[in-house]
Every structure is written in structure tokens, then in C-alpha cells.
Structure 1
Amino acid sequence: MEEVSSTPQPQPSRPKRNNTWIYAVIIALLLGTNVYLFLQKDKNQQKLLETTQHLQQADTSLAALQSEYNASLARLDDLTGKNAQLDKQLKEKDSEVAKTKARIQEILSKNKATQQEIAEARALIHKLNNKIGDYEQQIAHLKQENAALTVQRDSVVVTNSDLQQKVNLAKVLHASNIRMTGIKLTRGGRKEKETEKARRVDLLRITFDIDENRIAESGNKELDICITNPNGELLSNAALGSGSFKTAEGQSRYYSVSKTVMLQTEQPVKDINVDWQQSSEYAKGAYNVEIYHQGYLIGKGSVNLR
């Protein structure tokens, strides 16, 4: 019996596997992943930057709108009290303006207002400014009307004043037929005699008429009479009723005596007598008399004593 050998027979060798392409794929995947992550990170940073810029722009827009809104409120406050008619209109539209202001303030008070809200606030402020502009134009128009009315009123006042002045002048009385004579008293004053000799004169008598006046009302009229001696000095004595009055020019002047005359409208008053009597002797020369009514000189006369 033959002996069988137990030595194993050699197996044919397997060819070695090439893994290079696998590594290449893995490396490519890794590179692609890294590139993707890098790009994604850059994209996120860009978005973050854009968001930050948007927020900054929104904050800037809100600040600008707040300044514009504050200026609008200042203009609106400045209108109050300038015109009663406009104040009434502002009060009537106060609820509408208040709603607009409330909405604007609501948007401006937000920490993060949207672009849409900012646009809304901008539109509301523009609308408010337009209303304020209308109010300002109304005030300017009303001021022009008031100025025109003031000029017209002043013209009417001046006209009325002129007319009143003319009426007042028309009411001023006019004295005529003015005479001035020296009187000598005898028999204890019971008998009078005219004289031109200064040493014999006891009193000076002024006689005049008041012409008829169709404007002056009936009643007592006060006349101021000024008498001056040959030296141009006013004859005056408080005990005899001397005093002072205002001329039509506003100047203060003294009078010798005053005389109250009862006047009837459209009727003259004839032969009015006013006496001036002094204790001292009368000097020789010309004595002058001026008669005033309401501060206006209405007549004058003179006498010469020898």
C-alpha cells in the first residue's frame, strides 16, 4: 500500500485590491463638506451683517422720524392761540389729530419697528405736516384779512373822528356885535353913565350877541371871557370868579370871568352883558376882550380909555 503524502498543496495567490480611488472619494467628500460648511458660514455671516445693517438703518430711520415728528408737534403747538377761529377748528379736529399722533408715537416707541411700520409712520407724519401747512396758510390768510379789516376800521374811525370834529366845530357858538364900554356909577350905583375917561371908570361892560346855531342843542352854554389891560396883562381875581380853561389846542389859559348863557336851538341871544369891576383905578390905553366857547375863540373886541 502506497503511502499518501499529507503536505498541503499551495493555493494560487489573490491579486491585491487597489484602494486609492476610495481614499480619493473620501477626500473629495471631505473637501466638499468643508467647502459647503465654509460657504454656509460665509452666507450666515453675510445674512447676519445684512440683518445688523437693516437694524441700524431702521434705528436711523426711527431717529430721523422722531426728529421730524418733534418738529411737527412744535409747529402744531405754535399755532395754538394765534387765532380764535383756527383754535376752534383745531378743537373740532382734535380727535383726528390725536389718533394720528397716537399711532405715530406707537410706532416710534417700538424697539424693533418693521420697515412697513416705519413707512406707515413716515406717511402719517407727512399727512400731519400737510394738515399743519393748511393751518398755517389759513392763519396767514386770516392775518391778511385782519390787517385789511384793521386798515378799513382805522379809516372809518378817522372818518368818523373827522366828522365828529366837524360836528363839534359846528356846535361851537359864534359871538358878534361885541362892544366894550367904560361905566361910571353914580347915586350909589343906581345910575350908570358911559365914559371913556379912565379915571372915571368904575367898571368895564362887555356886551355881545350869540348868533343862531342850528346844530347846538338847547341848554346852558358856558363862555370864558378874557380881558387884558393896556400892558397886555390879564385882569383876574379869584373872588370875582376868575379861573382857567383848556383851549382847543390843549393849552391851559386863564380867564377873567365866565358867563352862562341859555341858548335855544336856531335862536340868537341878543345883548348879553358881562361886567368887570375892580377896586384899583383903570389905566389909560386899550383894553381887549376875547370870548371862548369849548376852548375856541368865538369873538373879540376892545375899548380905548383916555
Structure 2
Amino acid sequence: MENQNSHSKLKAIIGILAVLLIGSLIYIFKLTSDANTLQTTVTTVKSEKESVLKDLADLKTTYDAAIAENTSMSDELIAERDKVVKLMAELKTTKGDNASLLKYKSQYKALEQKMQNLMQEVEVLKKQNQSLTTNLDSTKVVLEDNKKYNQVLVGQNEELAKTVELGSKLSVANLKTASYKVRSSGKQIATDKASRTDMLKINFTIAENKIAKSGDKTYYVQVIDSKNNVLGDKATISFGDNSLTYSFTTTVKYENKTVEVSEQLPGKDFAKGTYFVNVFDKGELVSKSSFSLR
């Protein structure tokens, strides 16, 4: 009987130990399972954290490239890039639990959407700038063409002005000088003897010119005898750096038609030899001739 009781107690102890062993095995299995799950969770969170950091870095790179193009939106782009940089710094220091990771993912998505909107605006601005640049280049071409055309016109106008100036100058022709003896009665007798001469008659023609300016025209007549003396008034006038000593002046009312001019130069003691007669329009010699007295 006693052996039977001992045997029963032994069975009970073995049963209890078996239950404890099974319980221990179950507990160990649960601990191992929980540890594996935790390790998997930590690995997943770390991977997702690195993925978000990479996405944020890509956002920053996109902003850096857009800012380098120096558009009118540069200030706004810089502000958004700074937000990305700040979020990256915060994410690097976080413990990386699921809740905080979800928060950073949400912030990243908002920043990404903002970036896409800004990039669309930047593209629109770039196209507008390209259009403006093309129009500006076209305008420059037109302005350069107009400038060249104007330079041609200026050159043509200058040439035309010179032509008109030359064409508008009056032509003096048929300059002739004759010597006379004037009697007390006023009768003039032609002579070529110096001793008998007491008056010279000088004639010339101003030719017709339709484009010349009409009005009073003054000419300076210079008569030089064989001894190189200027006869008559011997008055001197300056034209710029040049001076002219003349015998007399004659003023003609010119109306774009041919005008015959006749003037007299009285004198005495005319010398024998060759005389020179010059007609000046201001300081410019416009006609000359010579004659001789014996």
C-alpha cells in the first residue's frame, strides 16, 4: 500500500514538472517571437526613415537646381528648401518610432506637393523668359537694321546736302574788263593806253539757278595793277582765318534768273602792263580774268 502511494506521488510530481516544462517552453517561445517581431519592426522603421531622408534630399537637390537658375521666384524657392533642410535635421535626430515616422512622411508629402506646384510655376516663367528673350533678340535685329538704314539715310542726306549746296552756288561767267577815257561831256571812249585811261568798266554775268536762294548777293571785286597794287577802295575784310583786300563791292538782287552786272572803277595814273581782275563770293574766288594797258 505504501509503495502504491509513493508511486502515485511520483506520478504527480512528474506531471507537475511536465506542466512547468511546457509552460517554460511556451514562455521562451513567446519571448523569442516578441524579440524577432521587435527586431523586424526596428529594421523596418530604420529603412523607412532612410527612405524618407533620401526623398527629402532629392527635394533639396531639386530646389538647389531651380534656385541656381536665378528666376524671379528664387526667394520663395529658398524658403521652401530651408523647410526641407530643417525637416531632414529633425528626422535624423528622432528615435524613429512608427508614430513620429508617419508624421514626417506626412510632412514630406506636403513639401513634395508644394515643390511640384513651384516647379510648374518655374517652368511657366522659363517659357515666358524664353519668349521674351526671343522677342528681345528680334527687336535688337530690327533696331540694328533700322540703325543701319538710318546711317545709310544720313549718309545719303549728307551727300544730297553737299550736292544741293554745290548746285545752289551761283556761277559767275563772262568776266570782262575794258578801259575808257571819259570826256568832260561824259562821253566814254575806249582806249588801251594807260596814259589815256581814267576809268575801268567791269562786266560779268550771274547765271540762272533755280535751286539757289534768292535775295541780295554781294560780290567783292579785286583789281590788281601791273605793280601788284590793289586799285579802288583798298578795303580789307576777313573770312575766318583769311583776309581779302578788295577794290569795290557790288550788290545784286538775285531772283534765280540770269543777271548782267556792270560796274565802273574810276582812277588816274594807270600803269602800263597786265592787270588782274578777281571776283569773290565772300572768301571764295568765283571768277578771274586779265587785261593789259600799253
Task: Please confirm whether the aligned pair reaches a TM-score higher than 0.5, indicating the same fold.
Answer: yes
1:255 and 1:39 mapped to 2: Cα distance?
A: 118
Give runs of aligned pairs for residues 138-287 of structure 1, distance below 5 A.
138-181=135-178, 206-226=202-222, 235=230, 240-245=234-239, 253-257=242-246, 258-266=249-257, 268-273=258-263, 275=265, 285-287=273-275
1:104-150: per-residue Cα shift (whole Å, max 9, x none)? 74454234361222122222112112111211211221222222223
Counterpart of 1:35? Answer: 36
Once the two structures are TM-superposed, the CA of residue 47 in structure 1 deviates from its matched residue by 2.2
The structure-2 alpha-carbon separation of the partners of 1:136 and 1:305, relative to structure 1 and needing over 3 Å to count, comes to farther
Greater Cα offset, 138-147 or 195-204: 195-204
Once the two structures are TM-superposed, the CA of residue 270 in structure 1 deviates from its matched residue by 1.9
Counterpart of 1:131? Answer: 128
Counterpart of 1:85? Answer: none
The structure-2 alpha-carbon separation of the partners of 1:122 and 1:291, relative to structure 1 and needing over 3 Å to count, comes to farther
Aligned partners of 1:173 and 1:293 also within 8 Å: no
Given the alignment of the two structures, is residue 304 of structure 1 paired with residue 275 of structure 2, yes or no? no
Higher helix proportion: 2
1:285 and 1:296 mapped to 2: Cα distance?
A: 26
1:274 and 1:211 mapped to 2: Cα distance?
A: 21
The structure-2 alpha-carbon separation of the partners of 1:215 and 1:206, relative to structure 1 and needing over 3 Å to count, comes to same
1:6-55: per-residue Cα shift (whole Å, max 9, x none)? x9896233321324443333222222222221221222222222223333
Once the two structures are TM-superposed, the CA of residue 301 in structure 1 deviates from its matched residue by 0.9
1:147 and 1:270 mapped to 2: Cα distance?
A: 53
Given the alignment of the two structures, is residue 45 of structure 1 paired with residue 46 of structure 2, yes or no? yes
What SS does the aligned partner of 1:216 have?
coil
Q: How many pairs were matched up? A: 257
Counterpart of 2:103? Answer: none
Aligned partners of 1:259 and 1:274 also within 8 Å: no
Aligned partners of 2:67 and 2:77 also within 8 Å: no
Give runs of aligned pairs for residues 43-122 of structure 1, distance below 5 A.
43-68=44-69, 70=70, 72-73=71-72, 101=73, 105-106=75-76, 108-110=78-80, 111-112=82-83, 114-122=111-119
Counterpart of 1:89? Answer: none
1:163-201: per-residue Cα shift (whole Å, max 9, x none)? 4433333332222221235677898xx897766566887
Aligned partners of 2:208 and 2:256 also within 8 Å: yes
Aligned partner of 2:83: which letter? K
Aligned partners of 1:226 and 1:234 also within 8 Å: no
2:33 and 2:264 mapped to 1: Cα distance?
A: 137
What SS does the aligned partner of 1:303 have?
strand
Aligned partners of 1:184 and 1:201 also within 8 Å: yes
Counterpart of 2:100? Answer: none
Aligned partners of 2:66 and 2:77 also within 8 Å: no
Gaps of 5+ in 1: 1-6, 74-100, 247-251
Aligned partner of 2:207: which letter? D
Greater Cα offset, 46-55 or 138-147: 46-55
1:44-77: per-residue Cα shift (whole Å, max 9, x none)? 2222222233333323332332222x2x34xxxx
1:8 and 1:271 mapped to 2: Cα distance?
A: 183
1:234 and 1:48 mapped to 2: Cα distance?
A: 117
Once the two structures are TM-superposed, the CA of residue 260 in structure 1 deviates from its matched residue by 1.9
- The partner residue of 1:291 within 279, 288, 291 is 279
1:46 and 1:218 mapped to 2: Cα distance?
A: 102
What SS does the aligned partner of 1:177 have?
strand
